[in-house]
Amino acid sequence: MEKLFYIDSYIKNFTAEIVEVKEKDDKYHVLLDKTAFYPGGGGQYCDLGTIDNIHVLDVYEENEKIYHVLEKKPNRIHKVKCEIDWDRRAYGMQHHFGQHVISACFNNEYNAKTVGFHLGKDFSTVDIEGFFKEDDIMKIENMCNEIIRENIPVEFLNINKKEAKKLKIKDDLSKLSNNIRVVKFGDYDINLCCGVHVKNTLDLRVIKIKKFEKYKKATRIEFLCGTKAIEDMLKRDSYLNKICKLLSSNEEDAYKGIENLNNKLNEVNKENRKLEEIISNYEVKEMIEDAEKINNMNIIIKTYENKTMNYINKIANKITEIDNNVGLFALINDDKLNLLFACSKNLNKLDMNLLLKDSIKLVDGKGGGSKVLAQGGGKNNGNLDSLFDYVKIKIKSI
């Protein structure tokens, strides 16, 4: 079988003869006399596209034959028109080779090996051994883009083990046959690779490192290349223009404007927290005074609609810091309902976990917790009052 993707990785359309068709699991596995569909490998996924206007669902290699999985049987076998999903191929080529460039820069600059690579749908990641700071990452990004601008041809060599050893290839050659495929660009890097790549570094257009983080004993780098990177930068530029208009500032002053807004927001939030603390203290005092008395216990029942569970937790903690208090709280949000049951620690005969699990069935919910505090969620089905009445009856019986 002639592997067109190794002859020219930029072939988008070709005509082939169908040699074999195997039916398996209601799908048709088609063997062509030649193909530009890459079957995947080396961290790069397979090509998709169409054969005889039928969608290719998968491509794989078996016994040195490349099969194309189709959703239905082709109508003809001679001079069949085939088309590669070029956006998918270009993304794969650019990001696969982009990883080669990033890895080469880290190896040459910091003697750091690549220990992982993932070609994702929306972005790709490469794991470099060791930990790096932001300045190191920015330096590598600049080096990568300098290599791109040099427009270095990407060479592909088919060699044997003896020739590979002379080239001082870093990869382990012990388990390989003498048919070895090598990718090389300038004096920057040379290593084993069965994937398909761009013809020169300039075809990468740009490498943009989006973010980085520690991952096990390495640094995981998220990056974009080529068309995807340019689309992302144009999108970010559009957002930056919108931000500048909102702030009535230029790009340089936009950051300062956002920083000032953030500082003001923090001040407002701080003041709100102080006011919320004061209000919650008054609310707690009023709740205890108005509480229903059952067996020397204060049963506090409260339903909220425009609060958060964090606020309700705060109220519950304040109430249960005082002896002989039981708090039964509900938060209604459209058709959803959240419950929080809490009691003072001195009420050791009560078990909020059991009370919640028993009563929450009335609102088709689930939940749990400890003897002194339990939470859960269910449906706002109109049974809330019945639920509270049921819990009060249970408490009286205890």
pLDDT in tens, 321-356: 999 999 999 999 888 999 999 999 999 899 999 999
DSSP 72: S
| CB contact at 8 A, 324 and 300 | no
The predicted structure's pLDDT at residue 170: 66
Nearest to 94 by CA among 227, 270, 184, 2: 227
Tokens of 213: 């983080």
CA 343 – CA 298 distance, rounded (Å): 10
* 30 strand-pairing partners: 21, 68
- Give the model's confidence band at 224: pLDDT under 50 very low, under 70 low, under 90 confident, else very high: very high
Query: In this predicted model, what pLDDT tens digit does every residue of 97-119 receive, in sequence order?
Result: 999 999 999 999 999 999 999 99
Strands 34-35 and 80-84: unpaired
Q: Is 46 left (phi over 0), alpha (psi -120 to 50) or beta?
A: beta
CA dist 103 → 110, 124, 142, 169 (Å): 10, 13, 13, 14
pLDDT at position 22, please?
92
Pairing of strands 218-225, 207-215: antiparallel
Residues 347-362: pLDDT tens digits?
989 999 999 999 999 9
51 strand-pairing partners = 54, 82
Please count the other Cβ atoms lying within 10 Å of the Cβ belonging to residue 209.
Answer: 17
Share of the chain above pLDDT 70, in %: 96
pLDDT at 168: 66
The answer, yes or no, to whether residue 16 has pLDDT greater than 90, is yes
Percent of the chain topping pLDDT 90: 64
What's the mean per-residue pLDDT of the chain? 90
Statement: residue 174 has pLDDT above 70: no
Q: Specify the length of the chain in residues.
A: 398
pLDDT in the model for residue 84: 96
* Cα 368 to Cα 122, 187, 314, 344, 355, distances in angstroms: 39, 63, 18, 17, 9
| pLDDT for res 203 | 94
CA dihedral 187, 193, 197, 201 (to 10 degrees): -20
* Structure confidence by residue, pLDDT tens digits, 252-308: 787 787 878 888 888 888 887 787 777 777 778 888 888 889 888 999 999 998 888
pLDDT at site 148? 96
Q: What is the mean pLDDT of residues 302-323?
A: 89
> What pLDDT is attached to residue 248?
82
Tell me the H-state helices in the chain.
Answer: 4-7, 86-110, 134-149, 161-166, 226-247, 251-290, 309-320, 352-359, 384-397
pLDDT of 163 over the 80 cut = no
Q: Are 258 and 243 in contact (CB under 8 A)?
A: yes
- Rounded Cα distance, 206 and 149, in Å: 9
pLDDT in tens, 225-260: 999 999 999 998 898 888 888 888 887 787 787 878
Q: How far apart are CA 294 and CA 350, in angstroms?
A: 13
Q: Are 57 and 25 in contact (CB under 8 A)?
A: no
Between 190 and 82, whose confidence is greater?
A: 82
Max avg pLDDT among 211-215, 266-270, 378-382: 211-215
